[in-house]
Structure 1
Amino acid sequence: MKMRRMIIMSDIKDGEILFLYEGKLTNPNGDIDDENRPRMDYETSTNLVSDVRLKRYIRDYLLENDNNIFINHGNVQTATERLNDALENKANEDTDLKKFVTDKFIDIRLFGAMIPISQKNENKKRSDGDSIRIVGPVQFSWGYSLNRVELLNSYSITGGFASSTGNKMNSIGKDYRLYYSLIGFYGVISSKRAKKANLGPDDIKKFDEAMINAIPSQASRSKINQMPVLYIRTESNGKYIGDLRDYIKLNIKKEPIRNINDYSISLKQLISVISENEISIAQCWIHKNLNIEDMEDLTNCKK
């Protein structure tokens, strides 16, 4: 898959993130309280995706690429159990647990963690103690679709097995999906929290890679046909613009939207506010089929 890349590597600074990805005939984030329907703001026909869903993509990708991950969704444990497993019962009273977990786990360096810990009492038995609290330097808001979305008209599907013993009919279930959703996320990076969490330049490099590759590589039956289309990460010395999604415009060529060719994106206002505040673009990645109306201005801004 050929993509356009513009990359500048630098030390960790304060930053903001704009991330867009598309989903075609998919369920980007099922709501367990609503029969696993896509999360929605029904008044505006807007698709919603939690920050937890995005972080899970990133964690799973990092784990598959030989990084130590504290929150492993494939291994259900309490935070205390996970910590004890990582320590392998080798910790002593002098162990700096906060340093231990930030040295070992990249997802804690990125997203932070709250870990209850136990302490030894006078009888040298472990009892309830304090907790490790690390506020992650990288945080995301909830994502939402930039376009009005539509649910598929038909939801029922048949399974490969009968619903019960003796039943000669295949089981019937519901499969809720959207025709097309262009989902936008806004994120921030704090340099001060990065220092406290021991976040390093190599971690940010891996994070950038995960933002571009995690979603398509983690495809499941309900998540296939999801693809990043735009990723921008800025750097500054303490300057924050605010939600970068407010500074972009979706120009629809054909309604209803069904694929990436049915619209273009204007970054004119975003480029202007970035330039006015003397903020640099540290990472910019664009899908080869995405029509950016201000490509020349974006290139000049990046320089």
Structure 2
Amino acid sequence: MAEVIKNRIEFVILFDVENGNPNGDPDAGNLPRMDPESGYGIVTDVCLKRKIRNYVETVKEDEPGYKIYIKQDVPLNTSDNTAYEYLHTNSAEIKALKKKDPEVDLKIRDFMCREFYDIRTFGAVMTTFVKASLNCGQVRGPVQIGFARSIDPILSQELAITRIAITTQADAENKTTEMGRKNIVPYALYRAEGYISANLARKVTGFSETDLELLWEAIINMFENDHSAARGKMAVRELIVFKHSKELGDCPSYKLFDAVEVKKQEDVEYPRQYSDYIVRIHEDQIPETVEVSRKI
């Protein structure tokens, strides 16, 4: 069995987009998400975790211990049924089983953490279990990722496009093309910050050193198997990791994040590539007990 992580960790992800929409907002006609006051671009944590889940699912292909709980086209009840199979019971008999064994809720929670990588990593709210008289409740995952924000304000462009495949036969008699719209960001560099709690890993989910290495691999490659015409050219450019010397950490996380400076080159007005930025880590601001590594 892999060893559970023992050190608190923080990390910074830098990724960019070129001529694409990194995260459309369905409430705004699928325009790239943006802070309306400042104009900075936003990519949600849900979007980033989806990429990580997709990578793990692609690499592991439902290998035991690496299944994905939040999965497209798979109802949560379907995944929950694996827990009933583990207990050799069903939703109709679970109340009687709970009377015999008051530890059933805890056993199912631990089973779900062992079986599903994303529960072990990000946690989950297993409400379908509550409806079935179980009470696994909310599993707090040790890995948390905040919203990504662009380093500079973004300019969202709406482009007109045409296609020659007409939708209906009636329309085809009157026209040869149809119009459409496409929203892109010409270029933007985004920064996301994340946290990994060794305390929650030990007490709740059992997130291990092996799981951690898979997480780094998934973050570095999260756009490599997820290309689409809508998202343009996206890539993770930096993964900076801060490893504390103990479970509860050596200093506040904001001090480590503040030590990573990302800014435009002085002669660049409109950045259009990653080399238009400078990334500096001010190591004099980081305690000696915190280990810094750049995974890319």
**TM-score with structure 1 setting the length:** 0.79
Aligned to 1:34: 28
Segments of 5+ residues of structure 1 without an aligned counterpart are 1-9, 120-125, 287-303
Q: CA deviation at 1:150?
A: 1.5
Where is the strand percentage greater, Structure 1 or Structure 2? 1
Structure 2 counterpart of 1:255, from 269, 284, 288: 269
Cα distance change of structure 1 residues 36 and 156 upon mapping to structure 2, 3 Å threshold: same
Where is the helix percentage greater, Structure 1 or Structure 2? 2
1:117 touches 1:128 (CA, 8 Å); kept in 2?
A: no
Determine helix, strand or coil for the equivalent of 2:19. Answer: strand
2:145 touches 2:195 (CA, 8 Å); kept in 1?
A: yes
Cα distance change of structure 1 residues 89 and 209 upon mapping to structure 2, 3 Å threshold: closer
2:255 touches 2:285 (CA, 8 Å); kept in 1?
A: no
* Residues in 1 aligned to 2:133 and 2:168: alpha-carbon distance in whole angstroms: 45
Q: Which amino acid aligns with 1:56?
A: R
* Residues in 1 aligned to 2:166 and 2:281: alpha-carbon distance in whole angstroms: 52
Are 1:280 and 2:282 an aligned pair?
A: no
Cα distance change of structure 1 residues 118 and 59 upon mapping to structure 2, 3 Å threshold: closer
Q: After TM superposition, where is structure 1 displaced by more than 4 Å over at least 4 residues in a row?
A: 85-90, 126-129
Determine helix, strand or coil for the equivalent of 2:170. Answer: coil
1:251 touches 1:266 (CA, 8 Å); kept in 2?
A: no
- Report the count of equivalent residues: 265
Aligned to 2:146: 141
1:135 touches 1:193 (CA, 8 Å); kept in 2?
A: yes
Q: CA deviation at 1:41?
A: 1.3
* Residues in 2 aligned to 1:144 and 1:53: alpha-carbon distance in whole angstroms: 13
* Residues in 1 aligned to 2:26 and 2:256: alpha-carbon distance in whole angstroms: 29
Cα distance change of structure 1 residues 83 and 241 upon mapping to structure 2, 3 Å threshold: same
Q: Which amino acid aligns with 2:209?
A: P
Cα distance change of structure 1 residues 90 and 11 upon mapping to structure 2, 3 Å threshold: closer
Determine helix, strand or coil for the equivalent of 1:59. Answer: helix
Q: CA deviation at 1:76?
A: 4.3
Q: CA deviation at 1:99?
A: 1.3
Structure 2 counterpart of 1:234, from 242, 265, 290: 242
* Identical-residue share of aligned pairs (%): 26
Q: CA deviation at 1:171?
A: 3.5
Aligned to 1:296: none
Aligned to 1:223: 231
Cα distance change of structure 1 residues 263 and 116 upon mapping to structure 2, 3 Å threshold: closer
Segments of 5+ residues of structure 2 without an aligned counterpart are 61-65, 90-96
2:242 touches 2:256 (CA, 8 Å); kept in 1?
A: no
Q: CA deviation at 1:235?
A: 1.3
Cα distance change of structure 1 residues 30 and 76 upon mapping to structure 2, 3 Å threshold: farther
What do residues 186-225 of structure 1 show as CA deviations (whole Å, max 9, x unaligned)?
1100011111111111100100111111112211222231
Are 1:161 and 2:158 an aligned pair?
A: no
2:17 touches 2:233 (CA, 8 Å); kept in 1?
A: yes
* Residues in 1 aligned to 2:35 and 2:120: alpha-carbon distance in whole angstroms: 32
Cα distance change of structure 1 residues 127 and 182 upon mapping to structure 2, 3 Å threshold: closer
Aligned to 1:151: 156
* Residues in 2 aligned to 1:244 and 1:29: alpha-carbon distance in whole angstroms: 27
Cα RMSD over matched residues?
2.5
Aligned to 2:67: 68
Cα distance change of structure 1 residues 76 and 162 upon mapping to structure 2, 3 Å threshold: farther
Q: Which amino acid aligns with 1:145?
A: S
Q: CA deviation at 1:44?
A: 1.9
Q: Which amino acid aligns with 2:192?
A: F
Q: CA deviation at 1:71?
A: 0.9
